[in-house]
């Protein structure tokens, strides 16, 4: 019988508050900045959005369900490890990760010097080529919580395909 390819898309979004005394880790890159992201794990807002996009496409829940913030195991966790586990989970369900794109909304710090390293980190965690991972950034023109520097948000989309004989 013919091979049937089933394509799925997923959307992920995340927000973390900026706070003093925290590291600013985005896309697995520690960015020198006066504040960092607050959260149970390392609060990598971009890795979390990408993980939710990938999990969403496979209808496999979300990172809040997989790695609850009530679980001490994930306290201070490297979010690239969480992302790799999310990728493992969707592969176990028979999906291949085809393409990912993302955008970070932050007034500061500047993301462009770190974009290539973020793409490499995310791609490695996902087990895909760097070319399959997009990272963009925007300010919000000083509007909203990102614009006031209170927090940083990220959105991501993922395209997955499942190949099965039927
Ligand atoms: Mg998060």
- Along the 166 residues of the chain, how does pLDDT read in single tens digits? 446 679 999 999 999 999 999 999 999 999 999 999 999 999 999 999 999 999 999 999 999 998 888 888 888 889 999 999 999 999 999 999 999 999 999 999 999 999 999 999 999 999 999 999 999 999 999 999 999 999 999 999 999 999 765 5
Instruction: Give residues whose Cβ lies within 5 Å of ion ligand 1.
Output: 14, 48
CA 74 – ligand 1 centroid, Å = 12
CA 38 – ligand 1 centroid, Å = 9
CA 165 – ligand 1 centroid, Å = 36
**pLDDT tens digits for range 90-112:** 999 999 999 999 999 999 999 99
The per-residue pLDDT for 5 is 77
Element (H, E) at 48: helix 45-57
Strand 95-105 versus strand 136-138 pairing type = parallel
CA 2 – ligand 1 centroid, Å = 40
The per-residue pLDDT for 57 is 97
CA 106 – ligand 1 centroid, Å = 15
- Torsion angle, alpha carbons of 118, 119, 121, 125, to 10: 140
Assign 3-state DSSP to the chain and report helix, strand, coil percentages, each to 5: 35, 30, 35
> 95 with 161: CB under 8 angstroms?
yes
The per-residue pLDDT for 1 is 46
CA 30 – ligand 1 centroid, Å = 16
The per-residue pLDDT for 3 is 61
CA 104 – ligand 1 centroid, Å = 13
Q: What percent of the chain has pLDDT over 70?
A: 96
Q: Which has the closest alpha carbon to 8: 154, 134, 123, 164?
A: 164
Task: List CB contacts of 71: < 8 A, sequence separation 6 or more.
Answer: none
CA 49 – ligand 1 centroid, Å = 7
């Amino acid at each position: 019988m013919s091979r049937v390819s089933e394509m799925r898309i997923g959307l992920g979004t995340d927000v973390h508050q900026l706070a003093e005394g925290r590291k600013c880790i985005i896309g697995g890159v520690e960015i020198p900045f006066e504040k960092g992201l607050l959260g149970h794990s390392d609060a990598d807002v971009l890795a979390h959005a990408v993980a939710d996009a990938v999990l969403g496409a496979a209808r496999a829940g979300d990172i809040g369900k997989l790695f609850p913030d009530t679980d001490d195991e994930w306290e201070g966790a490297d979010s690239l490890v969480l992302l790799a586990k999310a990728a493992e989970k969707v592969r176990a369900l028979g999906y291949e990760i085809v393409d990912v794109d993302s955008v970070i909304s932050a007034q500061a710090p500047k993301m462009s010097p770190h974009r290539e390293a973020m793409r490499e980190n995310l791609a490695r965690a996902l087990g895909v080529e760097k070319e399959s991972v997009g990272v963009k950034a925007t300010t919000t023109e000083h509007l909203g919580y990102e614009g006031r520097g209170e927090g940083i948000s990220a959105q991501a989309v993922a395209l997955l395909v499942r190949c099965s004989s039927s």
